[in-house]
Amino acid sequence: MRKQDGRKRKPSPVEQKCSPAKLLKKATEINLDPYPNYLRPTPDDCHAVRDDLLAFHGFPQQFAKYREQRLNTDENTSISPTDTVLDGLVSTILSQNTTDANSQRAFSSLKSALPTWEDVLAADSKCIEDAIRCGGLAPTKASCIKNMLNCLLEKRGKLCLEYLRDLSVDEIKTELSQFKGIGPKTVACVLMFNLQQDDFPVDTHIFQIAKAIGWVPIEADTKKTYVHLNKRIPNELKFDLNCLLFTHGKACRTCIKKEDNKQKKESGSCPLLNYAIADGGEEVPDNTIVPTMTPVGGVGDSSCIAEGVVRGYLSGGRGSVVMVFDCERGPSSAYLS
């Protein structure tokens, strides 16, 4: 009789799944605001930035079809989305760590070589990699897509994610998070663009701008920024504001702090300069009142706007703009008059 090997067999990617209860608990924990006392952005902040960027850029054409779908959903029209949820998920996977143009070429190439998702699932990994190679990271993305399709077929019996349209946001996050390689940003993009839900994905551009204009603490990371902004930004502003910040972050070298000889002329008149916070900051002793300060959209009042740390300042036409952190009131934007 052969002696049994004491080592446990490593589960296959399809088997590596958390229970729904554990995933729901994890989703609940993720939804807790990491900065409950950080009171920016306020609804007024969000409205002001949205309006300024909309006046500056107009609404980005690349997101126009998704905006129309949302309007149709709000008006209860019978117009169906042109892309399926599964199309959107795969497209989002292909968009990781590459340009929009390259990810769109990769998706078109994949659909041309393998027209149905059943074809993709049945294909060799090498065939999928060859089809999406122009989008970069082909082996990683091909593995993620194939694993996701395997898991979906095993769980639902067919390659279709349209059932997600009938679920709540938290339930959708729980469902999509079961797929290996599908992270919070991918889930948030599918929620916002393909399911017409109110969510606020945070990419590198939005993360950098959020820190630059004081919408999150200096020490914030992308995951905490995502949770905090989703708690603070009004639902009705999330889609437009996200699209505008993303577009502005790609166009404006001032906001993302990069030097580029080909930078656009518009970056010289960045509409977010009025909201910006300079790097560094100036320490002030506890119980010190910064004199003669007037709020410009943050929390507090001019009689006693802050005690604590001045996060930074930016000299501009309206005076020296500063970010002050008050231990009791939270952060405030103000300027010295």
Burial (0-12, 13-18, 19+ Cβ within 10 Å), 334: buried
Catalytic residues: 185
Would the CA dihedral through 14, 108, 264, 215 be positive or negative? negative
- Report the distance separating Cα 106 and Cα 129, nearest Å: 10
How far is C-alpha 328 from the geometric centre of its chain's CA atoms? Answer: 29
User: Across the strands, what pairs with 335?
Assistant: 294, 321
At residue 324, the 3 state secondary structure works out as strand
Token pair of 290, please?
């910064």
Name which of 77, 79, 158, 78 is nearest 117 in CA terms.
158
First to last CA, the chain: 89
Q: How far is CA 162 from CA 196, 275, 282, in A?
A: 13, 41, 52
* H-only helix segments in the chain: 20-30, 43-57, 64-74, 85-94, 100-113, 117-122, 125-132, 138-156, 169-176, 184-189, 204-212, 222-232, 235-251
At residue 295, the 3 state secondary structure works out as strand
